[in-house]
Amino acid sequence: MEFKTCVFYFLSTILVLAALRVVTARNPVHAALYLVLAFFNAGGIWLLLSAEFLAVVLVMVYIGAVMVLFLFVVMMLDIDFKKLREGFWRYLPMGATVGGLLAVEMALVLGGRYFGLDAMPEPAAKAADYSNTQELGRVLYTEYAYPFELAAFVLLIAMVAAVSLTLRRRRASKYIAPEVQVAARHEERMTLVKMAAEKKKPAGDEAAEAGAGGGR
Amino acid sequence: MGEILRIFEDFFGPLWPVVWSLVKIVALLAPLMVCVAYLTWVERKVIGAMQLRVGPNRVGPLGLLQPIADALKLLFKEVIVPSGSSKGLYVLGPILAIAPSLAAWAVIPFDEGMAVANINAGLLYLLAITSMEIYGVIISGWASNSKYAFLGAMRAAAQMVSYEVALGFALICVLLISSSLNLSEIVASQGQGRFHDMGLGFLSWNWLPLLPMFVVYLISGLAETNRAPFDVVEGEAEIVAGHMVEFSGMAFALFFLAEYANMILVSVMTALLFLGGWLSPVGFLPDGFHWLALKTAFFLFVFLWVRATFPRFRYDQIMRLGWKVFVPITLVWVVVVAVWMMSPLSIWNRDDGGTKGVPAAGLEIGG
């Protein structure tokens, strides 16, 4: 067996097991962490396909940002595990339908001959220093510039919408505008006053005074 | 040298690539760990000097054996797992903290062609790996089953994700003007230009045309490594030590090692991306690894200097600085650099026929 095949099976075994644990893990935090593991292995498999840009972006965006925020939320939930498992039988038909559909579609793709995959020649192997990041950038910003910009706009609108939907001002919040705080000068807060230096009396005087006081 | 290598190559046969990689990894990590250990000593000495104290001076001459004594002490301490903690994740936390900060070193070049892996997407790899550093903090914070640790983890999650955005944009500026993701090529691209030909190499490094990005990168680097004044994640005055409050012995030491390895990593990155890596600042001195070491040491000193000088930021002000100051500045500067490159005023004239990924149209406009 080729070394590459070994690596593929290694990565995909972990990927499948991790994905399985995502749906079977009891604790949602564990499930989210298994999802991170699954993403990481998927990134590895993409690297094997020499799609290094996609692999790195998967790790950067999904593991580095999306899943962190997921965990951020999931960790703060106070979850009743019993309640979580209650609706299992109620949701089963729905889930089974979706799962079945996915399986059928995957079988279609993997079957290949429906799409005439056998007739397609194998893509030519690229040299080791071939950078698909550059190639992708070149195509994205020339040929597909308008679709790319359109996608960016849709995402921007979605972002603005999400913020405006969830933004609400709480009346009781004690909020001070940070620009006011940052603009504060020390002259407004504190004055330095010149004072004459206070001299300590020599130790002998003090003792004598204390002695005199006691005597009185 | 080559003959000796060939003998070993014959001896190991098909296993040779694995063995050779391992040798390279050890040759990189062993000096790195020594640097990490002595960085803790330097930190205590430097901050001590700044605060008119002596610093460690008991173990060995000048306290030079202090890091070793500390390491031995931590090795012999028990690793206590708190009751009610998630055991597997509790052990995984420190490992996940140190693994990415060591893995990131794979693509760092130390001299012309001297890197464990000189890959094309080096900068992307670094971004991806450093974005995973956060998991060590979050997982250990959650798994400890402690309120302070959890608060630290939450702060870390928000802070590190926020500053990654500014960091990423600063890197985009760098890769725009060097039109490469390969770190060696980024350094090489700084060794050309008018000033370099005049013998004043340090003026053609990236820090000058990208001065705002240089500053943003340095400050975001501080925030990414959770160093003072951005160390609210640890915040020993409020949440004791944040995510590592429940850890003891070697598990705690791993967090420490990770933090210092990250500091060195950010310093090396700044030196490579903005200060010309191993290039010599003036024409009459030869290039070499010592320049990179010197620049890195300078940035490490800045890290310590900043820690001794500034008080800790308040949490909401950290977020404000990240999102409302750095992200807009970097966004604008990306556009500025892009327009600059395409304008007749561009100082990055390329006549290599677009082999480095500059589109042909850009060449015509850029002259």
Widest CA span of chain B, in angstroms?
68
CA distance B208 to B205: 7
Scan residues 11-30 of A and list those with Cβ closer than 8 Å to B. Answer: 27, 29-30
- CA torsion B121-B122-B127-B133 (nearest 10°) is 130
Spatial neighbors of B131 by CB under 8 A, at least 6 apart, are: A59, A60, A63, A64, A65, B164
- Residue A81 and residue A17 share a domain: yes
In a 3-state reduction of DSSP, which class is residue B111?
A: strand
pLDDT at residue number A155: 94
Per the prediction, chain B carries an average pLDDT of 82
Query: A79 at the B interface (CB within 8 A)?
Result: no
Tell me the pLDDT band of A167, cut-offs 50, 70 and 90: confident
A&B contacts, CB < 8 Å: 84
Q: What CATH number does residue A66 fall under?
A: 1.20.120.1200
pLDDT digits (tens, 9 = 90+) for B164-208: 888 889 888 888 888 888 888 888 888 777 777 777 777 778 888
On whether any CB of chain A is under 8 Å from the CB of B364, the answer is no
Instruction: Mutation target for B interface from A36, A78, A131: give the one with most B CBs within 10 A.
Output: A131
Q: Per the structure, how many domains does chain A have?
A: 2
Q: Which of B16, B7, B326 is closest to B162 using CA atoms?
A: B326
How far, in Å, CA of B95 to CA of B137, rounded? 10
CA distance B170 to chain A (A): 16
The answer to whether B245 touches B146, Cβ cutoff 8 Å, is yes
Structural domain boundaries, residue A44: 1-86
Mean pLDDT of B250-266: 89
A68·B157 Cβ contact <8 A: yes
Question: Which of A30, A52, A71 is the closest to B138 by Cβ?
Answer: A71
Count CB neighbours of A61 within 10 A: 14
| Mutation for B interface: A58, A78, A133, A136, most B CBs within 10 A | A133
Rounded to the nearest 5°, which phi and psi values hold at B10? -65, -40
Angle between helices A67-76 and B134-143 in degrees, nearest 10: 10
Contact B316 A63 (CB under 8 A): no
Domain end, chosen from A146, A165, A184, is at A165
Q: Is B33 on the interface with A (CB under 8 A)?
A: no
Domain membership flag for residue A107: no
Q: Is B16 within 8 Å of B9 (Cβ atoms)?
A: yes
Question: Would the pLDDT of B18 be above 70?
Answer: yes
Chain A residues close to B359, C-beta within 8 Å: 138, 141-142
Other Cβ atoms less than 10 A from the Cβ of B322: the count is: 24
pLDDT at site B358: 40
Residue ranges of the alpha helices (H) in B144-190?
147-178, 183-189
Q: Within a 10 A sphere around the Cβ of B48, how many other Cβ atoms? A: 16
* Contact indicator for B148, B242 with CB cutoff of 8 Å: yes
**Which pLDDT tens digit goes with each residue over A76-119?**
877 766 676 677 788 888 989 999 999 998 888 777 676 676 67
More confident residue, A19 or B347: A19
CB atoms within 10 A of CB B209: 18
Among candidate residues B183, B155, B184, B158, the one with its CA nearest the CA of residue B171: B183
Give me the pLDDT at residue B364, please. Answer: 35
DSSP state of B114: B
CB B273 within 8 A of CB B94: no
Half-sphere exposure of B135 (CA within 13 A, CB side): 31
The answer to whether residue B89 neighbours chain A at the CB level (below 8 Å) is: yes
pLDDT at A42: 92
Contact B132 A63 (CB under 8 A): yes
How far apart CA B297 and CA B38 sit, in angstroms, is 12
- Reference B251, options B143, B325, B150, B124; nearest CA is B143
**The pLDDT value given to residue B357:** 40
Q: Which residues of B touch A181 (CB under 8 A)?
A: 317
Checking if the pLDDT of B340 tops 70, the result is yes
Determine, yes or no, domain membership for A173. Answer: no
Per the model's pLDDT, the better-predicted residue between A180 and B100 turns out to be B100
Disruptive mutation site among B120, B160, B163 for chain A (greatest number of A CBs within 10 Å): B120
Question: Looking at A169-173, B152-156, B215-219, B299-303, which range is the least confident one?
Answer: A169-173
User: What's the first-to-final CA gap in chain A, in angstroms?
Assistant: 106
- β-bridge partners, B267: none
pLDDT at A169 over 80: no
How high is the pLDDT of residue B356? Answer: 42
For chain B, which residues make up each domain, given as ranges? 1-74, 77-361
Q: Which of 102-121 (B) contact A at CB < 8 A?
A: 119-121
Q: With CB atoms and an 8 Å threshold, state whether B161 touches A68.
A: yes
How far apart are alpha carbons B139 and B17 in whole angstroms? 34
Task: Let me know if residue A92 belongs to a domain.
Answer: no
Residue A16 has pLDDT above 70, yes or no: yes
Closest-CA residue of B relative to A73 is B154
pTM here is: 0.81
Out of A9-13, A98-102, A128-132, B278-282, least confident range: A128-132
Cis peptide before A93 (omega within 30 of 0): no
Q: Is residue A54 in some structural domain?
A: yes
Chain B partners of A139 at a C-beta cutoff of 8 Å? none
Q: Does B21 touch chain A (CB under 8 A)?
A: no
Residue A118 lies in a domain: no
In a domain, A184, yes or no: no
Hey, are the CB atoms on B357 and A137 less than 8 Å from each other? yes
Query: Are B205 and B282 spatial neighbours (Cβ–Cβ below 8 Å)?
Result: no
Looking at the complex, does the CB of residue A74 fall below 8 Å from at least one CB of chain B? no
Cβ separation of B134 and A131 shorter than 8 Å?
Answer: no
